[in-house]
Amino acid sequence: MRAFDYHLAESPADAVATLTAHPDAAFLAGGTNLVDHMKLGVATPDLLVDVSRLALDEVTTTEDGGVRVGATVRNSDLAAHPLIRSRYPVLSRAMLSAASGQLRNSATTAGNLLQRTRCVYFQDVTTPCNKREPGSGCSAIGGYVRYHAILGASPHCIAVHPSDMAVAMSALDAVVVIEGADGERRIPIDEFYRLPGDEPHRDTVLRHGDLITAVELPAPPSGAVSDYRKVRDRASYAFALASVAAELTFDTDQIGSARIALGGIAHKPWRARRAEEVLAGATAGEETFAAAADAELSAADPQPGNEFKVALTRRTLIAALRTLNERGRR
Ligand code: SF4
């Protein structure tokens, strides 16, 4: 591991100023992803700015009926928080489906958002990877693609985002609050993440020195039911082959509103706007659910070797909608 300096940030402003002044520095919080990458040689910061002790570890209500989650709230604490369990069960379920208990005890909200792809080539510094080393090529194209994208990929990168939490937050229309050199910015999570395009090394729109201070969740619609469904190769401690975060409201037989995000299939949490359009105002039932899934997946462009993910995602989305339909009518 490359030698590095360490600085314990005294305030968000101190953290931002210190990082901004050091082009090769990185923020450290739970360290569950960054430290692994430092050991592998994937990340080589010369300075770690520790933000884990900043007073950003509270979950509070907002004036408009939503919830504000501090950036350093631990994943375990967020999943178990009464406000999250009661108002945003999709988020609690997504977080409990992720990683292991030990990792959730250490990982933070902001760190979870910023975790990097688990593409095996990204983590192997002996192989070309445009995300790790821009311009070097993509080893996954034509290689091992079981965990790779079927939507939104580019000829430069077909990796997927690994977070379950971010998928649920995408369905909930979360807003990421950022402290930067020019002050505070608030970015809807769907605009926070990027598709790979020709710059796959940029996962998000963050600039060097930007510090995530919180994530805000708007108030859920009245009467909404939500769920997170994840399909993976083993029952725990595995990343999603496909996942669905969905929240629906019902008006007797009709679907009122629908908010859906898909995980494990794209470079970012994939907001399923086409499916939402089919569902909103339609009669709830198998035909509608299948039409919604087909509308969303009509743009799927799998790699040779991961075509199965199209059918898997379709089945997972329909199953999630079926479950919510049953629960919404009780
Ligand atoms: Fe790198 Fe992306 Fe290709 Fe994986 S899919 S090897 S992360 S460029």
- Ligand 1 atom having least distance to the Cα of 153: 5
pLDDT at residue 102 greater than cutoff 90 = yes
Q: What is the distance in A from the centroid of ligand 1 to the CA of 142? A: 11
Share of the chain above pLDDT 70, in %: 100
Residues in a beta bridge with 211: 179
- Could you read off the pLDDT of 278-310 as tens digits, one per residue? 999 999 999 999 999 999 999 999 999 999 999
Question: In this structure, how many other beta carbons lie within 10 angstroms of the beta carbon of residue 36?
Answer: 14
Mean pLDDT of 74-98: 98
Rounded to the nearest angstrom, the gap between the alpha carbon of residue 317 and the centroid of all alpha carbons in its chain is 17
Q: Which among 122, 127, 306 is the best mutation to test ligand 1's pocket, defined by most ligand atoms within 8 Å of the CB?
A: 122
pLDDT of residue 237: 94
| Sign of the C-alpha dihedral computed for residues 242, 32, 158 and 307 taken in this order | negative
From the options 3.30.43.10, 1.50.10.20, 1.10.260.40, 1.20.1440.130, give the CATH code of 5-50. 3.30.43.10
Q: Where are the beta strands (DSSP E) in the chain?
A: 5-8, 25-28, 47-50, 59-61, 67-70, 175-180, 183-188, 211-217, 225-231, 242-251, 254-263, 270-271
193-197 own/partner pairs: CB under 8 Å, 24+ apart: 193/161, 193/166, 193/267, 193/268, 193/269, 194/267, 194/268, 195/152, 195/153, 195/154, 195/266, 195/267, 195/268, 196/131, 196/152, 196/153, 196/154, 196/156, 196/157, 196/158, 196/159, 196/267, 197/154, 197/156
pLDDT at residue 329 greater than cutoff 80 = no
pLDDT at residue 268 greater than cutoff 90 = yes
- Ligand 1 atom having least distance to the Cα of 130: 8
Q: What is the homologous superfamily of the domain 225-328 according to CATH?
A: CO dehydrogenase flavoprotein, C-terminal domain (3.30.390.50)
Q: Tokens standing for 134? A: 């821009």
Q: Report d(CA 195, CA 156) in Å as an integer.
A: 11
Taking alpha carbons only, the member of 102, 106, 96 closest to residue 165 is 96
Q: What is the distance in A from the centroid of ligand 1 to the CA of 139? A: 6
- Could you read off the pLDDT of 190-237 as tens digits, one per residue? 999 999 999 999 999 999 999 999 999 999 999 999 999 999 999 999
Mean pLDDT of 313-325: 98
Q: Are 17 and 53 in contact (CB under 8 A)?
A: no
Q: Is 130 in the pocket of ligand 1 (CB under 6 A)?
A: yes
Mean pLDDT of 148-176: 98
Domain boundaries, the chain: 5-50, 225-328
pTM above 0.85, yes or no: yes
- Could you read off the pLDDT of 118-153 as tens digits, one per residue? 999 999 999 999 999 999 999 999 999 999 999 999
DSSP assigned state of 31: -
Q: Round the average pLDDT of the chain to a whole number and report it.
A: 97
- Ligand 1 atom having least distance to the Cα of 138: 3
Q: What is the distance in A from the centroid of ligand 1 to the CA of 116? A: 11
The one-letter amino acid at 313: T
pLDDT at residue 259 greater than cutoff 80 = yes
pLDDT of residue 212: 98
Q: Tokens standing for 164? A: 């379950």
Q: What is the distance in A from the centroid of ligand 1 to the CA of 117? A: 8
Q: Report d(CA 285, CA 133) in Å as an integer.
A: 47
Three-point CA angle 252, 91, 294, nearest 5°? 55
For ligand 1, atom 1: residue with the closest CA: 129
Mean pLDDT of 172-196: 98
Q: Which among 115, 117, 198 is the best mutation to test ligand 1's pocket, defined by most ligand atoms within 8 Å of the CB?
A: 117
pLDDT of residue 328: 87
Q: What is the distance in A from the centroid of ligand 1 to the CA of 156? A: 7
Give the list of residues 6+ apart from residue 228 with CB closer than 8 angstroms, or none. 90, 91, 93, 94, 97, 164, 167, 168, 243, 244, 245, 246
pLDDT of residue 297: 98
Give the list of residues 6+ apart from residue 197 with CB closer than 8 angstroms, or none. 154, 156
The one-letter amino acid at 318: I
Q: H-type helices in 181-246, by residue range?
A: 189-192
The SS3 of residue 135 is coil
**At residue 146, what are phi and psi to the nearest 5 degrees?**
-55, -35
Q: Is 139 in the pocket of ligand 1 (CB under 6 A)?
A: yes
Question: In this structure, how many other beta carbons lie within 10 angstroms of the beta carbon of residue 1?
Answer: 10
Q: Report d(CA 174, CA 276) in Å as an integer.
A: 17
